């Protein structure tokens, strides 16, 4: 895959997507968002890819927001279309059947915070900062930030952060439940790969079932308990279930095929 604003590589069947605009602190352009969607689609369809990491180039910034220069002069309808694009791509990440982890290597502001929250897991470097500063520009978050931050932080704190445009540190994000781990910058990718390697050792079918069931809790018109019943039932028809239960009874480590 060749992209204008992304770099891609694969480590241990993990697709690493790096947003590569370090001179702009990896700010998101419309083109970059579209390319992220294409890279996620590739990762979803590739038989060789078992998990995905999204990170930013350099050590200063994951994504320091959207490229505001693209916002100037937009009409109401054009603004809506831009938000629809961002929400569509980030929803693509959230519903990906393979685990997607944000390795947050610095500023995760505006669209960057929204991108990280669309991922299933987040690991932050010690210098990371999170926030939704859009009100400073006379805007609000448009790529799902008002909705997902409530899911992670609750209504009270999420509303405060959106209204004040305050940022929080990596340690504060950990305390609030926004990130899974905080590590030194030089350990960020190693920790990300370590966590995904652990997840990759489990049944891919079951991991997809976890993703679908957790997402259903927040989806309008869906009953998460019913989704769990459906996903639980599906497991019994898989080779992974047969292997997992057999391995347990034989007191050995299961070798899952993903079938």
Residues 68 and 36 sit within 8 Å (Cβ to Cβ): no
How much is the mean pLDDT over the chain?
96
Q: Could you tell me whether strands 14-19 and 6-11 are parallel, antiparallel, or unpaired per DSSP bridges?
A: antiparallel
State the pLDDT at residue 232: 95
> Which position among 35, 94, 114, 227 bears the catalytic label?
114
pLDDT digits (tens, 9 = 90+) for 191-239: 999 999 999 999 999 999 999 999 999 988 899 999 999 999 999 999 9
* pLDDT at 163 exceeding the cut of 90: yes
State the pLDDT at residue 220: 86
Q: Which of 2, 126, 101, 105 is nearest to 49 (CA)?
A: 101
Residues 128 and 82 sit within 8 Å (Cβ to Cβ): no
State the pLDDT at residue 208: 97
| Number of residues that this document lists for the chain | 259
Produce one character per residue of 117-132: b if its CB has 16 or more CB atoms within 10 Å, e if not: bbbbbbbbbebbbbbb
| Residue 4 is among the residues annotated as catalytic for this protein | no
What is the pTM assigned to this prediction? 0.95
Q: Could you tell me whether strands 107-109 and 61-63 are parallel, antiparallel, or unpaired per DSSP bridges?
A: parallel
pLDDT digits (tens, 9 = 90+) for 74-128: 999 999 999 999 999 999 999 999 999 999 999 999 999 999 999 999 999 999 9
Q: Is residue 138 helix, strand or coil?
A: coil
| Residue 227 is among the residues annotated as catalytic for this protein | no
> Which position among 35, 94, 134, 227 bears the catalytic label?
134
């Amino acid at each position: 895959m060749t992209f204008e604003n992304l770099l891609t590589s694969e480590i241990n069947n993990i697709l690493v997507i790096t947003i590569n605009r370090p001179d702009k602190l990896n700010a998101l352009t419309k083109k970059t968002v579209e390319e992220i969607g294409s890279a996620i689609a590739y990762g979803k369809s590739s038989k060789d890819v078992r998990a995905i990491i999204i990170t930013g180039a350099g050590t200063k910034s994951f994504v320091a927001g959207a490229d505001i220069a693209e916002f100037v002069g937009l009409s109401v309808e054009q603004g809506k279309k831009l938000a629809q694009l961002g929400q569509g791509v980030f929803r693509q990440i959230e519903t990906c059947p393979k685990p997607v982890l944000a390795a947050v290597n610095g500023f995760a502001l505006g669209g960057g915070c929204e991108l990280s929250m669309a991922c299933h897991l987040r690991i932050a470097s010690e210098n990371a900062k999170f926030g939704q500063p859009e009100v400073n520009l006379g805007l609000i978050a448009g790529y799902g930030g008002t909705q997902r931050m409530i899911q992670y932080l609750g209504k009270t704190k999420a509303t405060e952060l959106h209204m004040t445009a305050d940022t929080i540190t990596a340690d504060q994000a950990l305390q609030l439940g926004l990130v899974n781990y905080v590590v030194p910058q030089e350990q960020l990718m190693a920790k990300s790969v370590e966590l995904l390697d652990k997840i990759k050792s489990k049944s891919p079918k079951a991991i997809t079932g976890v993703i679908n069931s957790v997402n259903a809790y927040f989806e309008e018109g869906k009953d998460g308990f019913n989704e769990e019943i459906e996903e639980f039932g599906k497991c019994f028809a898989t080779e992974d279930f047969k292997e997992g239960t057999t391995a347990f009874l034989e007191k050995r480590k299961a070798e899952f095929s993903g079938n």
